[in-house]
Structure formats: structure tokens, C-alpha cells
């Protein structure tokens, strides 16, 4: 780490402690040339994530969009906001763990549906009906039949 006072490139760490509620580390350093102390902060580098929409547009990943979609599907269902927040955290972590800089909206939708299927079947069917754009009652019934078949097995 370069000293901000004399620009010498070597320093030693005198003290380290968590900062920003554990999101970063605050380090006190001492320059090995001039002896002056300075503070640095170390943060985890997060990769910017781009979502490729169905029409080919690209936009930044927004966890609030995922949460809002799940909230609509779970409206008037006995599901707490903390449960949904936890699901969104897991979805976001899954996406980050893929180590891709771009992900399709389809992949995100599938992740949301898999979490909703485990959380609440009614919310899952609601989300699937919008996400998969069921054209008629038959396509809706096919999805329900698949869901019931999985439940029986």
C-alpha cells in the first residue's frame, strides 16, 4: 500500500478490525519510510451483473425487481417478508456463484420459480402463470398437473 504522505510503497499493518457492520475491514498502517500512520479499508469486490432481457436489452441486475415479483405472487399468502428476503438473498448468491457477468432473465425466472415452489405452491402457480405466459386454461392445467404429479411422487 502506497503511503499517502511520502508515496513509499511499503507499510506494515498495525491494527485490523471489522467496519461497516462486517462488510469491510479497517486497517491502520504505518509507513516503513516516514513512520506516519494512515487508514485503509478493504472491501469485497463484487462483479457488476447484467441481465439479458427476452427482447435482447441489457440492464443491471436489481434485486428489488426480483423481490417485487415474488411479493406480487405471494400477495395474501401467509409468507413473511423475511422469508422472501432470504429467498432473494439465496437467488442473488446463486447468480454470483455462477461467476457469469451476464445472465438471462429466463435463468433468473427459473431460480425464482424453484424457490417459490418450495415456499408456497399457490405463489409458485401465480408466478408461473405470468412468467410462462399461459395462453389458455390447458397450459395452466398442464402446469398444475405437473405440480400435483411431483407432490404425489
Question: pTM higher than 0.85 for the full model?
Answer: no
- pLDDT reading at 85 higher than 70: yes
Going by C-alpha positions, the residue among 136, 115, 116 that lies closest to residue 126 is 116
Residues linked to residue 59 through DSSP beta bridges, in sequence order: 51
Angle at 73 between CA 148 and CA 153, to 5 degrees: 15
pLDDT band at 43 (very low <50, low <70, confident <90, very high): confident
pLDDT in tens, 60-78: 999 999 999 999 999 999 9
Question: Domain extents for the chain?
Answer: 11-43, 50-152
> How far apart are alpha carbons 94 and 73 in whole angstroms?
21
- pLDDT reading at 153 higher than 70: no
Amino acid at each position: 500500500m502506497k503511503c499517502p504522505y511520502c508515496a513509499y510503497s511499503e507499510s506494515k499493518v498495525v491494527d485490523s478490525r471489522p467496519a461497516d457492520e462486517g462488510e469491510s475491514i479497517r486497517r491502520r498502517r504505518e509507513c516503513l519510510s516516514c513512520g506516519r500512520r494512515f487508514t485503509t479499508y478493504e472491501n469485497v469486490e463484487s462483479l457488476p451483473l447484467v441481465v439479458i432481457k427476452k427482447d435482447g436489452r441489457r440492464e443491471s441486475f436489481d434485486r428489488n425487481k426480483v423481490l417485487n415479483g415474488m411479493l406480487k405472487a405471494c400477495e395474501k399468502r401467509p409468507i413473511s417478508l423475511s422469508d422472501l428476503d432470504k429467498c432473494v438473498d439465496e437467488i442473488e448468491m446463486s447468480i454470483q456463484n455462477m461467476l457469469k457477468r451476464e445472465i438471462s432473465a429466463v435463468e433468473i425466472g427459473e431460480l425464482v420459480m424453484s424457490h417459490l415452489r418450495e415456499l408456497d405452491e399457490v405463489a409458485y402457480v401465480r408466478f408461473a402463470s405470468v412468467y410462462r405466459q399461459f395462453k389458455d386454461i390447458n397450459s395452466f392445467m398442464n402446469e398444475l398437473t405437473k405440480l400435483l404429479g411431483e407432490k404425489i411422487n
